[in-house]
Structure 1
Amino acid sequence: MSPRAGLNAERITIAAAELADDIGFDNMTIAAVAKTFGVKDPSLYSHVRNLQDLRTRVAVLAAGEMTDGIAAAVAGRAGKDALVAFAGAYRDYARRHPGRYAATQSRLDPAEVAQAAGHIRSVELTVAILHGYDLADDDLIDAGRLLRSTFHGFATLETSGGFAHGRSPDASWAHILDALHLTLQQWPSATEDTHTTVLDEQGTTPCSPTP
């Protein structure tokens, strides 16, 4: 069978995601993916438009996987239990799939991901958790941004070897989640109108814990 036989967008996207985990999302190229199939670059262009299209496909795939994991983790939970489960699934995915995770943080055209189930569900899950703390409107947006900044910052530093101190990252993580829970319980009301809507950032950060 010819190496190009059976090629399709789904197989190419999965291969690209696996390669991104191995060599880094920024290093994942059309040429590198084509090499994994033993074909020349033009063979892939029958199925993906260009590198940006492939990167978007990987981001959508990863967002769906990550959100499925988060949804399973938080099912039936509320309050702090839901927050901890959400955060744990987020961190676990980032550690297991660093290239895929990086894809979820890439800036994408909102039109390209507007109907992607993983992106939409990510926002819905975050909103549900924050509603459990009685947050809404601008308070919900601000709290979502705090979660995003904390989870993404921790995951990025951890996967890049940024925690050189002797204290266990797991111990710090547990303490940070305790602090987030207390902060959300005592959240101060927003004092200015930012005129921001819940879905404004959906295309910017496909799978981040932020409305």
Structure 2
Amino acid sequence: MARAGLTTDRVVAAAAELADEAGFEHVTLTALARRFGVKDASLYSHVRGLADLRTRLALYAGGELIDRIAWAVAGRAGKDALTAFAGAYRAYAMEHPGRYAATQIRIDQSLIAASPQMRRTAEITYGMLRAYGLREPDLTDAVRLLRSTFHGYCALESAGGFGADRAVQASWDKAIDALHLALTHWPREARPDGDDR
């Protein structure tokens, strides 16, 4: 029987707190059970195991991240939207390192397809990039460029990897300027239908 007051939502929220406090790699069923003062077995009424818990945490954190990004980009387009998107992404990664780490794990494609958070993430990201006039397959390439840049920068910054005297914020601003130029002058791939607009 499930412990009174223990729900899947509470378990995942506690896992998110634990991830930020101790690091995503330290989110285990044992650590979480200790937090609730229960035995590990009590959690199996709410999650199927560690992989399920971490997947739920990734979706939870992804939802938080896209909510923050959506609020930041609302009513903006072009460079303003890109700057707001990037700033919200970076702020979340710095404020919630464990939750952010969860968003980087590989999730089964069927779960992604069924996830409202992941659909919303795609809609907002692709919507911002369509304002630059991009279409597939260039949209996918541009998403990969942004994700690689944002994630790489955040990972290096959080690890103290920028040692030069130049202010980290100044370099971030330049990176956004450079991304805006890249998106504005994107080398569009020829389309099979001949429509390269």
- For Structure 1 versus Structure 2, the TM-score category normalised by the shorter chain is over 0.9
**Distance across 1 between alignment mates of 2:78 and 2:149:** 18
Cα distance, 1:178 vs structure 2:
0.5
The code of the aligned residue for 2:61 comes to A
- What whole-Å deviation, never above 9, does each CA across 1:90-119 have from its counterpart, x for those lacking one? 001000111111111101112223221111
Equivalent residue for 1:201? none
Equivalent residue for 2:36? 37
In structure 2, the residue corresponding to 1:113 is in which secondary structure? helix
Q: Is it true that 1:169 corresponds to 2:168 in the alignment?
A: yes
Cα distance, 1:34 vs structure 2:
0.6
The code of the aligned residue for 1:185 comes to T
Alignment of 1:1-211 (within 5 A): 4-190=3-189
The code of the aligned residue for 1:181 comes to H
Cα distance, 1:192 vs structure 2:
8.8
**Distance across 2 between alignment mates of 1:102 and 1:80:** 27
The code of the aligned residue for 1:5 comes to A
Distance verdict in 2 for CA 1:126–1:38, change over 3 Å: same
**Distance across 2 between alignment mates of 1:140 and 1:54:** 31
**Distance across 2 between alignment mates of 1:161 and 1:121:** 32
Give the structure-2-normalised TM-score. 0.93
Give the structure with the higher percent helix: 2
**Distance across 2 between alignment mates of 1:190 and 1:144:** 15
Cα distance, 1:191 vs structure 2:
5.6
The code of the aligned residue for 1:117 comes to P
**Distance across 2 between alignment mates of 1:151 and 1:23:** 23
Cα distance, 1:126 vs structure 2:
1.1
Equivalent residue for 1:202? none
Equivalent residue for 1:205? none
The code of the aligned residue for 2:114 comes to Q
The code of the aligned residue for 2:152 comes to G
State the aligned residue count: 190
The code of the aligned residue for 2:27 comes to M
The code of the aligned residue for 1:107 comes to R
Task: Tell me the percent identity.
Answer: 58
Cα distance, 1:172 vs structure 2:
0.5
The code of the aligned residue for 2:108 comes to D
| Structure 1: unaligned runs, 5 residues or longer | 194-211
**Distance across 1 between alignment mates of 2:86 and 2:67:** 13
In structure 2, the residue corresponding to 1:76 is in which secondary structure? coil
Cα distance, 1:139 vs structure 2:
1.4
- What whole-Å deviation, never above 9, does each CA across 1:138-164 have from its counterpart, x for those lacking one? 111111111111011111111122112
